[in-house]
């Protein structure tokens, strides 16, 4: 059921003459992307975010991790 929903919302992507991905309007609207995009790596995959929204998301995730005590320890000088 989850996979059918995932694939039902998938959009084919095209490339422009310069070889850049052209995002369909529904995806741009969903992510509030207008001109700039932040690519966020997730192992073998990536997410695309509107940069301001990603900065807010990242700050919220860091704060939640800090409150839950799930942050990584600080690096020690080498």
Q: What is the mean pLDDT of each run of 10 residues along the chain (78 residues)?
A: 79 92 90 92 92 95 88 74
32: left (phi over 0), alpha (psi -120 to 50) or beta: left
Structure confidence at residue 19 (pLDDT): 96
Residues 6+ apart with CB under 8 A from 11: 24, 26, 27
Structure confidence at residue 49 (pLDDT): 94
Structure confidence at residue 6 (pLDDT): 74
Structure confidence at residue 52 (pLDDT): 96
Determine how many CB atoms are found less than 10 A away from the CB of residue 49.
20
Any idea which residue has 């003459």 for tokens?
17
pTM here is 0.67
Q: How would you classify the pairing of strands 21-22 and 14-15?
A: antiparallel
Structure confidence at residue 77 (pLDDT): 78
The helix (run of H) or strand (run of E) holding residue 15 is strand 14-15
């Amino acid at each position: 059921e989850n996979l059918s929903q995932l694939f039902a919302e998938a959009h084919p992507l095209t490339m422009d003459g310069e070889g850049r991905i052209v995002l369909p309007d529904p995806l741009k609207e969903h992510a509030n992307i207008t001109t700039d995009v932040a690519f966020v790596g997730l192992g073998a995959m990536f997410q695309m975010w509107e940069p301001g929204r990603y900065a807010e998301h990242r700050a919220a995730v860091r704060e939640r991790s800090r409150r839950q005590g799930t942050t990584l320890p600080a690096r020690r000088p080498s």
